[in-house]
Amino acid sequence: MTRESVQSASSSVAQLPRHVAIIMDGNGRWACQRNRPRAMGHREGVKAVRRAVKACRERGIEVLTLFAFSSENWRRPKTEVSLLMELFVHTIRKEIDELHRNDVCMRFIGERSAFEPKMRALMDEAEARTAGNRGLTLAMAVNYGGRWDIATAARELAKRALAGEIAVDSIDSDSLGASLSLADLPEPDLFIRTGGEQRISNYLLWQLAYTELYFTDLLWPDFDDAALGEALQSFARRQRRFGRTGDQVEQSRRA
């Protein structure tokens, strides 16, 4: 290996995000453009999920977090909400064997009490079964809201303070951050939103503090490995400064 190729190999590894968090948006519009019911768009969306999981696994990404249903999505028509719930149950049942075979560790984040027992049992089962897997960690955000996440962490800390386990004055951004969903995993490096909207829609509000944001007009059912590749290339061109100057970052990279 030449010096250049060693350098480019190591820099490409360094520039690969460890954690990618996606808002999968645009299923409804994908179906509308084809004069098909929105349900059809959601079903196509599941195929894009399968592709994204495979692509992330093959590229060596450690964590993929997907926004599947927000705490605000209950506002949709009842028929669409029940269709989505059925699709979740059906998809988890159908995919879990293969995910397990592929060493994928499944996680769910979000408020579970709103779901039917059948769905909750499936989520628990999928997590328990794949807990020991060390390949890709796939976190599905269902009935998730960033504000809910922060409020839940705050309540947890308040309870511990009341129980005398921690001092109120010890509560800081580290302890709050450590009580949030996904705290045990690397923070998201790259955020991708498909569907053209440039907003966060109450996704991982806290966790995205220093995440690189990437928006694409592609609708989620059209998102494929090439589209992921473009997002990864864009990420690789960014300089992440975390408050420091560009020169400082360059210096520490060379050191």
Task: Between 61 and 218, name the residue whose CB sits nearer to ligand IPE.
Answer: 218
Least separation in angstroms between residue 102's CB and ligand IPE is: 24
Task: Between 42 and 107, name the residue whose CB sits nearer to Mg ion.
Answer: 42
Binding site for ligand IPE (CB under 6 A): 23-29, 67-70, 73, 84, 195, 197, 199, 201
Eight-state DSSP code of residue 73: G
Question: For the packed helices 38-59 and 225-236, what is the interaxial angle rounded to 10 degrees?
Answer: 60
Q: Is 73 in the active site?
A: yes
Token pair, residue 73, equals 């999505």
User: Is 149 a binder of Mg ion (CB under 5 A)?
Assistant: no
Token pair, residue 144, equals 């998730």
Least separation in angstroms between residue 55's CB and Mg ion is: 22
Token pair, residue 3, equals 């010096």
The entry of ligand IPE, Mg ion, none near residue 146 (CB within 5 to 8 angstroms by kind) is: none
- Side chain identity at residue 24, one-letter code: M
d(CA 68, CA 88): 9
Q: Which of 17, 21, 25, 104 binds Mg ion (CB under 5 A)?
A: 25
Give the residue nearest to ligand IPE (CB). 28
Measured in Å, how far apart are the chain's first and last C-alpha atoms? 22
The answer to whether 31 and 199 are in contact (CB under 8 A) is: no
Q: Which residues belong to the active site?
A: 25, 73
Give me the residues that bind Mg ion (CB under 5 A), please: 25
